Amino acid sequence: MSLPRSENLMRRLGMAAPLLLSPMAGVADAALAIAVARAGGLGAIAAATLSIEQLHEQTRRFRDAVDAPLNLNFFAHTVSPPSPADIERWRAALAPLHEQLGLSLPTQVAAGRQPFDEEALAAVEALRPQVVSFHFGLPDASLLERVKATGAFVLSSGTTVAEASWLQARGADAIIAQGWEAGGHRGMFLDTDVGAQVGTLSLLPQIVDAVEVPVIAAGGIADGRGLAAALMLGASAVQVGTAFLRSPEARTSPAHRAALATSTDDATRVTNVFTGRPARGLLNRLMRELGPMSSEAIAFPYAGSLLAALREHDPGGDFVPLWAGQSAPLAKAMGAEEITRGMIDEALDVLRDTGVSSASWAAKRS
Amino acid sequence: MSLPRSENLMRRLGMAAPLLLSPMAGVADAALAIAVARAGGLGAIAAATLSIEQLHEQTRRFRDAVDAPLNLNFFAHTVSPPSPADIERWRAALAPLHEQLGLSLPTQVAAGRQPFDEEALAAVEALRPQVVSFHFGLPDASLLERVKATGAFVLSSGTTVAEASWLQARGADAIIAQGWEAGGHRGMFLDTDVGAQVGTLSLLPQIVDAVEVPVIAAGGIADGRGLAAALMLGASAVQVGTAFLRSPEARTSPAHRAALATSTDDATRVTNVFTGRPARGLLNRLMRELGPMSSEAIAFPYAGSLLAALREHDPGGDFVPLWAGQSAPLAKAMGAEEITRGMIDEALDVLRDTGVSSASWAAKRS
């Protein structure tokens, strides 16, 4: 059952193991992608916080190091600049904290992160990655068509069955089912109520039942047990991020690493105060003081631009996002290649042991 | 790996399959427990909404029908009556809806559901169920000691690692790891922030790592895929509720059945407006108008007493709880015995198929 699914996707994407590195904008670059690719997984480079020049450079670095397929990841959000009144409400919410810290509150908002556009398309056409993935939906049909014309296999995240079906109908070649547990930005683009977001164990089989394309499980998978469980639920592969944040190959900050090392299962929250869109991270001061969810936060990605002074002042993880999923305590401080191999070996052990057990259990029943 | 775990617990509890019926106060009685027990699972009777006399009668009904172990379930909450000011705030929140519907707003609050006490203990001592389970923590040590003196195997739900460790330290013989996806009341008793609640796929392995006692997975498990996945994550068994709500043996109301039949993965919310404690149900009018979470709702279980007029008026599921987990769309309208057997057979199929697949996948890698 899980065999043909995983093997079909692995063959199609040229992977030796059913594991995709989660593209983690800002905390990972080619170094992490290289390590995961060396262990048989699919490496990813997140373009969201890179210039086009940097994207070319990171891709070159990856290809110089390994002969393996690559996933280039882009945001596909709709940009709607906030009104002056919205900006003033967000500034008012941020003012007390700035006063308290003796910081001057920024006045200018900037988009910072651009959605996938003509320039990004040109990079895809030049770089020809085997996989192109999107977060927050998909780009316009005309852009997407040209991405697909390069031969790229297109992925995007669905956080509900409705989103997964929408993505399939518009041309996604596989769906990443992103459950409640996942760290970083939630891919939600049709649904807006964070309280309706679905746990991975429940979401995954429902998306598998609803779509024809392969489904990749994301959210809470940080060891071989999670990988084996995802295969049971019908996933063709898993996408893993948080499990790699403590590896030397990740660009995780010292404060972020320290917080991960002592985190607990209930240490994260979904917050919109850092960027304007819901994302999961370790609970810290800014989330406590303004949220975790704030109705004052302006639209993604503008909200973050008014945090510039706080970010610069940050004494150690109070005012910067410490993105992490709910399985953060399972993340190990070891090399990313070793983490990947360990997950795969553990999954194979779990699957093999339970194969024996199910036979004996079945015998007992009959 | 999962084999000895499941078989140890099954032997200890006298089950033929690693599946426990979730005790669903108000929507299930002995009829459902009998059907699940006939298929090899552990039947349960929820005492919370029964008189002691009814509890005796339901237990008798179960034992007349099957020769199988039984789980009697009790609430173990702390009762703290709301102040007059709290009551007035809750009444004020409820007033507009009552006015609009021409209903008179109740004035008296009542506890309704009692926590486990001397009288319930006497029933346990008389009925001697093989398993006694608690929700919302555990009763006082002196009461718990006398429950254990009857030889009963004691269960309680943990929604975080901290809660699971607390329960083990105080004598629970196994932990029910209740994930975010679960329907009905969340067992949370140390943690109070619903936003910190953990998805089953992430919670389960973390609790398995933290405790020595067996762990039973709850939340989002409604078919054989979920059962197989839970075993991969280290569970010894699963507890299943929502999957049975459409069976003829459940006492689910027609409005509740109709809502379940058309539910979607994102149709539920966690709400406190029905009882004062967070619980997951299908989003309906009362949840939309007052919550889903309301800071005005008075303490459990008093909040529900002021809804008496709305309940009586209810035109079809608008003002009564429609408890359900996030896997509600997987619930089948068929007999509970058939549902149970189907889950077990499907889990065995999934496990068997993946046993084959993992062998071939491993061969490919080496």
**pLDDT one-digit tens code per residue, A111-136:** 777 899 999 999 999 999 999 999 99
What's the full length of chain A, in residues?
A: 366
What are the phi and psi torsion angles at A42 (to 5°)? -95, 120
What's the full length of chain B, in residues?
A: 366
Is-contact B164 B208, C-beta < 8 A?
no
User: Tokens 């953060």 map to which residue?
Assistant: A328
In whole angstroms, what is the distance from residue B265 CA to residue B224 CA?
A: 18
Is-contact B24 B184, C-beta < 8 A?
yes
**Lowest-confidence pick of A56-60, A293-297, B238-242, B353-357:** B353-357
Q: Do B6 and A357 touch (CB under 8 A)?
A: yes
Three-class DSSP category at A267: coil
Helix (H) or strand (E) segment spanning residue A279? strand A279-282
Q: Return all residues near A149 (Cβ < 8 A) that are at least 6 apart.
A: none
**How distant, in Å, are the alpha carbons of A314, B280, B292 from that of A198?**
33, 12, 16
pLDDT the model gives residue B295: 96
Distance of CA B64 to the CA centre of its chain: 25
pLDDT the model gives residue B357: 52
DSSP secondary structure letters along A42-81: BEEEE-TTS-HHHHHHHHHHHHHH--S-EEEEEE-PPP-P
Q: Do B201 and A191 touch (CB under 8 A)?
A: no
Q: How far is A309 from chain B (nearest CA, A)?
A: 28
Three-class DSSP category at B297: coil
| Neighbour tally for B97: CB within 10 Å | 19
**pLDDT one-digit tens code per residue, A51-81:** 999 999 999 999 999 999 999 999 999 988 9
Core vs surface per residue A246-274: b (16+ CB within 10 A) or e:
bbebbebbebbbebbeebbbbbbbbbbbb
In whole angstroms, what is the distance from residue A362 CA to residue B345 CA?
A: 9
> pLDDT confidence of A355, banded at 50, 70, 90?
low
Closest CB from A4, A191, A326 relative to B202: A326
Write down the ipTM of this complex: 0.96
**pLDDT one-digit tens code per residue, A184-207:** 999 999 988 999 999 999 999 999
Q: Do A202 and B348 touch (CB under 8 A)?
A: no
Closest CB from A206, A220, A232 relative to B350: A232
Q: Do B351 and A355 touch (CB under 8 A)?
A: yes
pLDDT the model gives residue B4: 73
Percent of chain A with pLDDT over 70: 96
In whole angstroms, what is the distance from residue B132 CA to residue A288 CA?
A: 39
- Residues B178-194 have a mean pLDDT of 96
B326 in contact with chain A, both atoms CB, cutoff 8 A: yes
- Residues B36-50 have a mean pLDDT of 96
pLDDT the model gives residue A357: 52
Three-class DSSP category at B317: coil
- Residues B20-41 have a mean pLDDT of 96
> pLDDT confidence of A353, banded at 50, 70, 90?
confident
A200 in contact with chain B, both atoms CB, cutoff 8 A: yes
- Residues B108-120 have a mean pLDDT of 89
> Closest by alpha carbon to B263, among B348, B328, B168, B198?
B328
- Residues A311-339 have a mean pLDDT of 97
pLDDT the model gives residue B359: 45
Amino acid at A271: T
> pLDDT confidence of A3, banded at 50, 70, 90?
low
In whole angstroms, what is the distance from residue B132 CA to residue B69 CA?
A: 11
Is-contact A348 B361, C-beta < 8 A?
yes
Burial of B253 (0-12, 13-18, 19+ CB in 10 A): middle
In whole angstroms, what is the distance from residue B279 CA to residue B325 CA?
A: 10
A288 in contact with chain B, both atoms CB, cutoff 8 A: no
Q: How far is A348 from chain B (nearest CA, A)?
A: 6
Mean pLDDT of chain A: 94
pLDDT at A33 over 90: yes
- Interface probe for A, chosen from B165, B231, B232, B272 (most Cβ of A below 10 Å), is B232
A window 70-129, beta carbon within 8 A of B: none
Strands B279-282 and B184-185, bridge-based pairing: antiparallel
Percent of chain B with pLDDT over 90: 89
Q: Do B1 and A202 touch (CB under 8 A)?
A: no
pLDDT the model gives residue A1: 32
pLDDT the model gives residue B308: 96
Is-contact B72 B132, C-beta < 8 A?
yes
Amino acid at B49: T
> pLDDT confidence of B3, banded at 50, 70, 90?
low
Three-class DSSP category at B46: strand
Q: How far is A198 from chain B (nearest CA, A)?
A: 6
pLDDT at A173 over 60: yes
**pLDDT one-digit tens code per residue, B223-264:** 999 999 999 999 999 999 999 999 999 999 999 999 999 999
The torsion of the CA quartet B155, B159, B163, B168, rounded to 10 degrees, works out to 30
In whole angstroms, what is the distance from residue B112 CA to residue B76 CA?
A: 14
Helix (H) or strand (E) segment spanning residue B74? strand B70-75
Q: Return all residues near B224 (Cβ < 8 A) that are at least 6 apart.
A: B342, B343, B344, B345, B346, B347, B348, B349, B350
Kindly give the interhelix angle for A30-38 and A336-365, rounded to the nearest 10 degrees. 40
- Residues B20-49 have a mean pLDDT of 96
A223 in contact with chain B, both atoms CB, cutoff 8 A: yes
**pLDDT one-digit tens code per residue, B203-224:** 999 999 999 999 999 999 999 9
Mean pLDDT of chain B: 94
A window 139-168, beta carbon within 8 A of B: 160-162
- Residues B38-63 have a mean pLDDT of 97
pLDDT at B355 over 80: no
> Closest by alpha carbon to B278, among B194, B189, B190, B197?
B194
Is-contact A231 B354, C-beta < 8 A?
yes
> pLDDT confidence of A366, banded at 50, 70, 90?
very low
Is-contact A5 A233, C-beta < 8 A?
no
> pLDDT confidence of B110, banded at 50, 70, 90?
confident
- Residues A130-143 have a mean pLDDT of 98
Record the tokens describing residue B235, joined without a space.
């569970």
> pLDDT confidence of B2, banded at 50, 70, 90?
very low
pLDDT the model gives residue A191: 86
**How distant, in Å, are the alpha carbons of B211, B218, B317 from that of A223?**
18, 20, 42
DSSP A233: T
E strands present in B169-306 = 174-178, 184-185, 215-218, 237-240, 268-271, 279-282
Q: How far is B331 from chain A (nearest CA, A)?
A: 11
What are the phi and psi torsion angles at A152 (to 5°)? -70, 145
Percent of chain A with pLDDT over 90: 89
